Copies of this chain bind each other. A is one copy, B any other.
Amino acid sequence: MAKNKLLNLDFLKLPITTELFGIKAKAVGLPPGTLVHVGKQKIEKPVISLVDYFQDHFDTRTDITIEDATAVKETETVSWINLSGIHDISLIELFGQRFGIHNLALEDILNTQHRPKVEEMEGYNLIILKMLFFDDTTQSIDVEQISLILGPHYVLTFQEKEGDVFNGVRERLQRSNGRIRQRDSDYLAYALIDSIVDSYFHILEKVGDNLAQLEEDLLSNPEQSTLGRIHHYKRQLMILRKSVWPLREVISELYKEESPLIREDTQVFLRDLYDHTIQVLDTVEIFRDTVSGLQDLYMSAVSNRMNEIMKVLTIMASIFIPLTFIAGIYGMNFEYIPELKWRWGYFAIWGVMISCIMGMLIYFKRKKWL
């Protein structure tokens, strides 16, 4: 339809509410700590996997039962138990019972719209973060919530679906010589968070490339769809910002916290992580500035184009309207119009007209309209 083409933003029809704003749809009046899964079910069946290691010991298992997972809790080795798929509330409840997690914490884990935060609780720390993935097809950012429970000698991670940014960590765990095998669960938690923050750089890189492309397109051919894309990236940056902004606070709290679970020699790594987080934030802010600069450019391009259009109209009208008038004069049927009888009248009038055209052209040239 003609109307649609005005902005051409068809591909933007995202459901704002659920994807962007993340509104918790918990029924009013449910007692706090009631376990309700907020969000979509993204995996068919929850899968528990385990990595158990310490120094020379290394063991990895997938699709284990909750009992297996609980068994390793008490051992002296470091255990990383990951649950992919959090829609099964009874399973989450079981985790809560076995690992002694407060119901309010479980509620936060289940609410996939939760703001990133860290909370020190009795015997463990709860850390809620967002993993971001850039979907090249829709050029938009997918958000997946990940919750970490950092306990003594174990880390629990809760993901919405399979597939994460932790493959690097898994490889390092497998290698027997890495520093990570020498250290405790706090370092493992750090390594996981570090992977998440690192993955933000990839998102930023992709968004940056897209913005560069957008700018190039804007400069070479400012179409109307460009505005749609600007609007699109503005929103992507909003999502990004919403996920990244609280991160600063999270890392800084972790870093300053006097938790017995976090050793001193991990602090220096957290401080380094904090630096990275600041860099991510800086870049997001610069991207936002850039996008709004592009929007200004676009609006200027529209104004310039309007000027262009009006110039064409004005030039055409200014040249031909007077000429038409002159022609009209000698199209009149007065009985006595002396010029009409002149032998060279017709050619003389052509001369006049051409002079008019010349005059106008010189005028427009001077005004730099041509």
Q: Is the interface of A mostly helix, strand, loop or mixed?
A: helix
A115 lies within 8 A of B275 (CB): yes
B314 lies within 8 A of A309 (CB): yes
A238 lies within 8 A of B289 (CB): yes
B286 lies within 8 A of A205 (CB): no
A window 210-224: CB within 8 A of B: 211-212, 215-216, 218-222, 224
Q: How far, in whole Å, are A233 and B184 apart by their CA atoms in the complex?
A: 50
A window 237-280: CB within 8 A of B: 238, 242, 268-269, 271-273, 275-276, 278-279
B199 lies within 8 A of A28 (CB): yes
Interface size in chain A (residues, C-beta < 8 A): 144
Number of copies: 5
Knowing A15-B212, A221-B3, A313-B317 are in contact, say whether A28-B333 is a contact too (CB < 8 A): no
- Minimum CB–CB distance for A31 against chain B, Å: 5
Q: Within 8 Å CB of A199, what residues of B? A: 28
- Minimum CB–CB distance for A131 against chain B, Å: 11
Q: How far, in whole Å, are A286 and B243 apart by their CA atoms in the complex?
A: 12
Q: How far, in whole Å, are A310 and B310 apart by their CA atoms in the complex?
A: 7
Q: Which 8 A-B pairs have the closest CB atoms?
A: A29-B168, A327-B328, A17-B208, A330-B332, A16-B212, A313-B314, A334-B346, A331-B331
- The answer, yes or no, to whether A104 is at the interface (CB within 8 Å) is yes
By beta carbon, the residue of chain B nearest A167 is: B29
- Minimum CB–CB distance for A348 against chain B, Å: 9
Knowing A195-B29, A231-B293 are in contact, say whether A222-B312 is a contact too (CB < 8 A): no
